[in-house]
Amino acid sequence: MASHMPGTVEEQLRAAAMDQQRMSALAAWTARTLRTQNPRPFGASLVHTLTGKTLVCALNSVRQRRDPSAHAELLAIRLAAKRLNRVSLEGYTLYTTCEPCPMCMSAALWSSVERVVFGATIEDANRHCRQILIPAAEVAARSEMHCVVDGPVLRDECYALFTHPRTLRVLRQWPGRICGS
Ligand SMILES: [Zn+2]
């Protein structure tokens, strides 16, 4: 199961650089929403772990779809399974600008995603909106499925998506937390 785990220091450095590159691309893609009427800090992508090819990207669309479960990670997983025409996303890494909530982490486990790499943490997001405060790694550890959870990666770059003035204006309308407090 752990065959993907890089062995040498060089391999580890290369893997870390690759994670940063992929997370940076996702953060930049998610940041494009800052120029729209619907700025959204939550973005996710599914990338083939070995080839680096991005299969799908998705944004949090709860309000747009009137669907409380339309989190970025969940939409990316659904889209990817449909595109691959199978339920297993084995061999894929889920990159997400924010640590997955228990619902999304569970979906990652159910779909056999190989790794989850997150940017900002649940605590970071919790400064601006309601969260379920169970770390993704804990959800993974308590499941019978195997999934490596890595992060935070490029935390500042991803958290900047939350603290951008345009995002703050929108997040203020979300239930729960009051921004800037
Ligand atoms: Zn979620």
CA of 72 to the centre of ligand 1 (A): 7
- Asked whether residue 1 carries a pLDDT value surpassing 90, the answer given is no
On the question of pLDDT at 168 being above 70, the answer is yes
User: Which alpha helices (H) appear in the chain, and where do they start and end?
Assistant: 9-31, 62-65, 72-84, 102-110, 122-126, 136-141, 155-163, 165-171
Closest CA to 161 of 61, 56, 52, 24: 24
Strands 43-48 and 92-98: antiparallel
Considering the candidates 10, 11, 73, 90, report the single residue annotated as catalytic.
Answer: 73
**11 CA distance to ligand 1 middle (Å):** 31
Q: Strand pairing of 115-120 and 148-150? A: parallel
> Average pLDDT, stretch 39-67?
96
What is the reported pTM?
0.92
Give 132: exposed, middle or buried? Use CB within 10 Å, 0-12, 13-18, 19+: exposed
Average pLDDT of span 177-181: 45
116 CA distance to ligand 1 centroid (A)?
A: 13
- 77-135: per-residue pLDDT in tens? 999 999 999 999 999 999 999 999 999 999 999 999 999 999 999 999 999 999 999 99
Does pLDDT of 2 surpass 60? Answer: no
- Residue 11 falls in the annotated catalytic set: no
